[in-house]
Amino acid sequence: MLTLENIRFCYKNSAAPIFDGLSLRAEKGSFVSIIGASGSGKTTLFRLLNGLEQPEEGRILIDGEPLSAHRQYASYMPQQDLLFPWLTVEKNVMLPMTVQKKPKEEAAAKARELLRQVGLEGWENRWPRELSGGMRQRVSFARTLCAGGDILLLDEPFSALDSITRIQLQEWLMDQWKQLNKTILFITHDVEEAIFLSQKILVLTGHPVTGLMEFTVPMPKERNREMLLLPETARLKEDLIALLRREAKAEGTEGAERIHDADEAGIDR
């Protein structure tokens, strides 16, 4: 179980905090999506969870123990696929183990096993430039698994893909999740994607974010795309879109107020 308690966080070079009093819980083995306006702090939340940033106040706990007591608990898949063009597919996947100074043969064997698992057997010695966008994301996912964390932090992994590839990869990720027995936190801007994949959806609202709105997805673990048309699922989709619209509108107003305040104070923008 992952727990965040009353987190306050502010980037060093910034005046206003991103989070103030943020709390959340994710059950072990669950699939949780995180949505919110651009700039609301989704990636920052992941940076806190993988220890790249430290909260000013509050605690991050894994099964009741501080995050710092766990080694390599979370594995992060970044917003852009960061495959190194000068490394083969296999070497890209084994990179986290190379960095962890694991024996080369063990790392290569693990990478080959993971590539088989993501359906890319036979591609080990190819170059990233020879792959399609969807294949690159599967390699990137395999590399995230190679890091060995119990919790996978996936930051908009499918946002750059065309809609059919995206739907195929959503179904693929769903199957992976069922087999892997890992907790997945998944950032997306796509409400339907969040509903199709997750058991729980958290929405970041406000500046700073003081809390999360939580929605339970009314679909069983075994699901298919037709279930998105069920009345309760369609209702949830419309509710989430309305909420995000309100947030975007509030943000517009706040932004205008900030500009007005800056004008009043004679500050250059």
Ligand X SMILES: Nc1ncnc2c1ncn2[C@@H]1O[C@H](COP(=O)(O)OP(=O)(O)OP(=O)(O)O)[C@@H](O)[C@H]1O
The residues binding ligand X (CB under 6 A) are: 11, 13-14, 18, 36, 38-44
Q: How far is the CB of 69 from Mg ion (least distance, A)?
A: 27
Q: Name which of 176 and 188 has its Cβ closer to ligand X.
A: 188
Residue nearest to Mg ion (CB): 43
Q: Name which of 140 and 233 has its Cβ closer to Mg ion.
A: 140
Q: How far is the CB of 14 from ligand X (least distance, A)?
A: 5
Q: Name which of 13 and 179 has its Cβ closer to Mg ion.
A: 13
Q: Name which of 30 and 188 has its Cβ closer to Mg ion.
A: 188
Q: How far is the CB of 47 from ligand X (least distance, A)?
A: 7
Q: Alpha-carbon distance 57 to 8, whole Å? A: 5
Q: Alpha-carbon distance 7 to 238, whole Å? A: 30
- If one asks whether residue 117 binds Mg ion (CB under 5 A), the answer comes out as no
Q: Name which of 90 and 156 has its Cβ closer to ligand X.
A: 156
Q: How far is the CB of 185 from ligand X (least distance, A)?
A: 13
Q: Alpha-carbon distance 20 to 12, whole Å? A: 15
In DSSP notation, 167-232 reads: HHHHHHHHHHHHHH--EEEEE-S-HHHHHHH-SEEEEE-TTTB--EEEEE--S-SS--GGGGGSHH
Q: How far is the CB of 187 from ligand X (least distance, A)?
A: 7
Subset of residues 31 to 60 that bind Mg ion, contact rule: CB under 5 A: 42-43
Q: How far is the CB of 76 from Mg ion (least distance, A)?
A: 12
Question: What, of ligand X, Mg ion, none, does residue 44 touch, CB below 5 to 8 Å by kind?
Answer: ligand X
Question: What, of ligand X, Mg ion, none, does residue 149 touch, CB below 5 to 8 Å by kind?
Answer: none
Q: Name 143's Cβ contacts closer than 8 Å, sequence gap at least 6.
A: 77, 83, 92, 93, 95, 96
- 243-248's contacts with Cβ under 8 Å and 24+ in sequence apart are 243/203, 243/205, 243/213, 244/35, 244/36, 244/37, 244/191, 244/203, 247/36, 247/37, 247/40, 247/203, 247/205, 248/37
Convert 25-54 into a string of H (helix), E (strand) and C (coil): EECCCCEEEEEECCCCCHHHHHHHHCCCCC
Q: Name which of 20 and 156 has its Cβ closer to Mg ion.
A: 156
Question: What, of Mg ion, ligand X, none, does residue 207 touch, CB below 5 to 8 Å by kind?
Answer: none
Judged by the rule CB under 5 A, the positions of this chain that interact with Mg ion are 42-43
